[in-house]
Amino acid sequence: MPITPASLSFADDGTPFSATYDDVYHSSDGGLGQAHHVFLAGNGLPARWRGRERFVIVETGFGLGLNFLATWAAWRADPQRSARLHFVSCELHPFRVDDLVRLHARWPEFAPLAAELQAQWPCLAPGVHRLHLDDGRVCLTLWLGDARDGLAQLDARADAFLLDGFSPAKNPELWSARIFHLLARLAAPGATLATWSVAGEVREGLRRAGFEVEKAPGFGGKRQMLRGRYLGREPAVATDAASARQALVIGAGVAGTSVAERLAARGWTVDVIDAADGPGRGASGNHAGVLRPLPSLDDNRMGRLTRAGSLYGWRHIRRLQARGFAVRAEPCGVLHLARDAAQEAKMRAVVERLQLPAHHLRFVTAAQAGELGGWPVPLGGWWFGDSGWVQPPSLCAANLAAGGERIRTHWNARVRLARADDLWQAVDEHGAVVAAAPVAILAAGTGIAGFPLAAALPVVSARGQVSLLPADAGSPPRVVMCRMGYVSPAVDGLRCAGATFDVDDDDGTLREGDHRENLDKLEAMLPGYTAGLDAARLAGRVGFRPASPDRLPLVGAVPAIDHLDKPCKLDDIPRQPGLYALSGFGARGLVWAALAAETLASRLDGEPLPVERDLVEAVDPARFLLRPVRMPRTEE
């Protein structure tokens, strides 16, 4: 469902107002006072987050973001605050960032926090968006879309709920029995709730969902408010006992270094082990790769996951760059050209159906595409204005550097895994233990096939050859262009063109025939461009990418069995204790690495997940036990 942004308007007294719901966004007595009295004090905050490792808040309507800013400010001001604050919120009609800037100016005390939020405000596309704020200590997870869908898709354990939608009379869907039961599903032991509404149907609906509720003095002119507590689980201990946060990561490509960085950011100690002499030497070693989504008419799992991965991936790169780490990347834009007139019509239909923000995706004609790329093309297609190229080895190095002393690297180490005393041991060729930890993550690319415990995972090797073309700075194409392959702009005097995709081909040498294939794709994309280029004289690189049968990645716990004797649910499949896979990225390693790493790190640290539940299931490594396997032959 496309996102329709909120339209900014005001009531006669200046209170922000929604014409769609004919209601104000907060009490006319003051939004900040309401946030403190109703939502913070009503949930026993800040006292309840003190001494905790993390505290999770779920809100039913983000609106102006005032509750979030007030909560964030109160958390920062508390010297006994939890180590991390997670704020999860749903919003069907989010404001555009320019409107947020105008609204937040009303509360100058929040100016630094508001500016940080505005700088990271996401593309208004449906689904989950994760923003890391306050040097990563505060995590805002936004669901853009209907809260009934969002709360069903979220994977989290909430310590407190803020019920803050428009009034039940104006927006009854947000105060329905379905919403209340979904909140109960998300409730952690001892979870509390607070809301300004004391409507009888609200009280009764919450009681039926398992919440004990009581009226309390309200804010301003409203005599009463509502407080509640979930009764379905035993209360938790006030302080969290952090488990041993140690992990082995086998592989130092974009997958392995990304998950190492995400775990290190949470305080984990991570040993990264690779058979090469440094990071990004395998499939992640190309001169330039593409980071962009792949939309679909029905917004299927591939479309949603590549969109989420691209948006999160670029935010991750910007965070690294802001910290001074030298990631070579440029969101110069990506053109995906149609193969023929029929596909061009379908691509136009996709843009019209999805109605995503134009800066993220729009259809361009052949003439517009030629102007953007600097070279005439026969057909139009998709223009991804916020996408571009990334140099994978620089991203791998930056991930490791960002982890600082929490990441320990071990190079030139070929290891096997052994289990002893509830620890995974990485044992080298001489029988020496390189490192040991309770958690092991297999991110070794095609090398995952060499680990017997992962034998049930149908990962195949896909050989890819990239051709390197001499290029002057500023020469066309000036953007990344795709059509059955890709070509990059000039990067340090070279542009990448490719890549081939050959399953079960282990030839590591450069082949002239593959260079010709890449040039043929390039010529079809940019007619006349390859004149004077000789396949026999081109440089290039061969990499082997781990591919999965359904072209989706493998992210999660490794199954402990290789077949099912009888049908069962995905969650009921037994898993190897503490063993996880991060693989099957195919040609989309850059697209999925950061989001997959954040998903796995969130799972391991007991945090809300940054993607929808159905997408988590779609990438579960055990999914192939539930259905027949068909191996991929090509990938675009």
SS (H, E, C) 321-347: HHCCCCCCEECCCEEEECCCHHHHHHH
pLDDT, tens only, 172-183: 999 999 999 999
The answer, yes or no, to whether residue 237 has pLDDT greater than 80, is no
Alpha-carbon distance of 420 to 433, in angstroms, equals 11
**For 23, phi and psi rounded to 5 degrees?**
-155, 160
pLDDT, tens only, 215-232: 999 998 888 999 999 998
Look at residue 241 in the predicted model and tell me its pLDDT. 34
Q: Give the start-to-end residue ranges of the domains of the chain.
A: 9-230, 246-281+393-459+549-626, 333-389+460-545
Look at residue 326 in the predicted model and tell me its pLDDT. 93
Which residues, at least 6 apart from 6, have a Cβ–Cβ distance to it below 8 Å? 18, 20, 93, 94, 95, 96, 99
pLDDT, tens only, 553-578: 999 999 999 888 888 899 999 999 99
Beta pairing class for 415-420 and 138-144: unpaired
What is the per-residue DSSP string for 523-546? Answer: HHHSTTTTTT--GGG-EEEEEEEE
The answer to whether 379 touches 338, Cβ cutoff 8 Å, is yes
Alpha-carbon distance of 143 to 478, in angstroms, equals 35
The answer, yes or no, to whether residue 366 has pLDDT greater than 90, is yes
The answer to whether 349 touches 451, Cβ cutoff 8 Å, is no
Kindly state which CATH superfamily the domain 9-230 is placed in.
Answer: Vaccinia Virus protein VP39 (3.40.50.150)
pLDDT band at 242 (very low <50, low <70, confident <90, very high): very low
The answer, yes or no, to whether residue 532 has pLDDT greater than 80, is yes
pLDDT, tens only, 320-329: 999 999 999 9
Look at residue 589 in the predicted model and tell me its pLDDT. 94
pLDDT band at 239 (very low <50, low <70, confident <90, very high): very low
Peptide bond into 610 cis (omega under 30): no
- Calculate the alpha carbon distances from 278 to 283, 404, 443, 485, 506 in Å: 13, 16, 15, 28, 22
pLDDT, tens only, 430-478: 999 999 999 999 999 999 999 999 988 999 999 999 999 999 988 999 9
Higher pLDDT among residues 30 and 127, named by residue: 127
CATH of domain 246-281+393-459+549-626: 3.50.50.60
Mean pLDDT of the region 361-377: 97
Q: Which of 239, 238, 246, 175 is nearest to 424 (CA)?
A: 246
What is the value of pTM for the model shown? 0.95
The answer to whether 498 touches 467, Cβ cutoff 8 Å, is yes
Mean pLDDT of the region 385-406: 97
Query: For the chain, what percent of residues have pLDDT higher than 70?
Result: 97
Peptide bond into 477 cis (omega under 30): yes
- CATH label, 333-389+460-545, candidates 3.40.50.2300, 3.30.365.10, 3.30.9.10, 3.40.50.620: 3.30.9.10
Query: For the chain, what percent of residues have pLDDT higher than 90?
Result: 88
The answer to whether 59 touches 154, Cβ cutoff 8 Å, is no
- Calculate the alpha carbon distances from 146 to 3, 142, 149, 266, 335 in Å: 9, 12, 5, 30, 31
Give me the residues paired with residue 91 across strands: 144
